């Protein structure tokens, strides 16, 4: 069990506990389905999603206790499967087991990242490592970042502001802007690439 800010608690089950929630059942055709995905067949990926997205999400919800974050895990899991379907071995278990294991690892990583972020935020500043120069640099960077953001397209700027400054998930950003999740992710990626170029060398 891992605790986060304001008393919020994340329950992290082991992958074995997670698997008990989703009984393993080797499905005929798993290997063929994975082979089709490996061949770039998007219909096969959709078939895998239809079959196993529910099981994947149930494990993610179990770990994260958050529907929005769990949906992000589902998305990430199937993207990972699409990018590296050859990692699935039918002789080692069902495709459902493989996908659920990927989802569990991703969800646990998210919990650990959240806990680490919370600890950093709760760490008091060390006066021995803070100076006027640090404050000036911080203010300068803030101004530079604001200027760089102003140079982005409105859609990119809004999506990045919601995701990085308000801490919303992709799903929440999409709902807030009334856009498709894929559109939001694309805008964030393109905007972040532009920011990386604009800010290159600033913090060196």
3 to 7, 12, 60, 68: CA distances (angstroms): 7, 10, 17, 19
CA atoms within 13 A on the CB side of 131: 3
CATH of domain 127-199: 1.10.10.10
Q: What is the pLDDT of residue 149?
A: 80
In tens, the pLDDT along 93-130 reads 899 999 999 999 999 988 888 776 666 556 555 555 44
Confidence of residue 27 (pLDDT cuts 50, 70, 90): low
Q: Which of 56, 110, 54 is nearest to 81 (CA)?
A: 56
| Position 145 pLDDT exceeds 80 | no
Within the chain, all domains assigned CATH 1.10.10.10 are found at: 127-199
Question: pLDDT: is 55 or 8 the higher one?
Answer: 55
pLDDT at residue 116, as a whole number:
67
Share of the chain above pLDDT 70, in %: 69
pLDDT confidence band for 22 (50 / 70 / 90):
very low
Q: What is the mean pLDDT of residues 36-53?
A: 93
Mean pLDDT of 2-27: 43
Residues contacting 173, CB < 8 A, separation 6+ = 159, 162, 163, 184, 188
Q: What pLDDT score was predicted for residue 7?
A: 42
Query: Which of 1.10.1740.10, 3.30.70.2860, 3.40.605.10, 2.20.130.10 would CATH assign to domain 2-122?
Result: 1.10.1740.10
pLDDT tens, 155-192?
998 888 888 767 778 888 888 899 998 899 889 888 88
**Sole residue written with tokens 């949906």:** 71
CATH 1.10.1740.10 location in the chain: 2-122
pLDDT (0 to 100) of residue 201: 55
pLDDT in the model for residue 142: 61
Burial (0-12, 13-18, 19+ Cβ within 10 Å), 157: middle
pLDDT at res. 12? 42
Under DSSP, the state recorded for 7 is G
At residue 127, the 3 state secondary structure works out as helix
């Amino acid at each position: 069990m891992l605790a986060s800010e304001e008393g919020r608690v994340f329950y992290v089950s082991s992958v074995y506990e997670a698997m008990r929630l989703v009984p393993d059942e080797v499905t005929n055709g798993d290997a063929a389905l994975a082979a089709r995905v490996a061949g770039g067949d998007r219909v096969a990926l959709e078939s895998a999603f239809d079959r196993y997205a529910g099981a994947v999400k149930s494990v993610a919800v179990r770990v994260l206790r958050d529907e929005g974050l769990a949906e992000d895990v589902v998305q990430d899991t199937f993207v990972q499967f699409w990018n590296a379907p050859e990692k699935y071995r039918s002789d080692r278990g069902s495709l459902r087991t493989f996908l659920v294991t990927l989802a569990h690892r991703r969800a646990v990583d998210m919990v650990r990242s959240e806990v680490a972020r919370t600890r950093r935020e709760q760490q008091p500043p060390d006066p021995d490592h803070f100076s006027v120069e640090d404050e000036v640099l911080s203010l300068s960077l803030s101004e530079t970042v604001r200027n760089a953001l102003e140079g982005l397209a409105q859609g990119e700027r809004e999506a990045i502001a919601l995701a990085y400054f308000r801490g919303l998930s992709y799903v929440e950003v999409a709902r807030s802007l009334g856009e498709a999740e894929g559109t939001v992710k694309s805008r964030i990626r393109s905007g972040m690439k532009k920011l990386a170029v604009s800010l290159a060398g600033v913090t060196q």
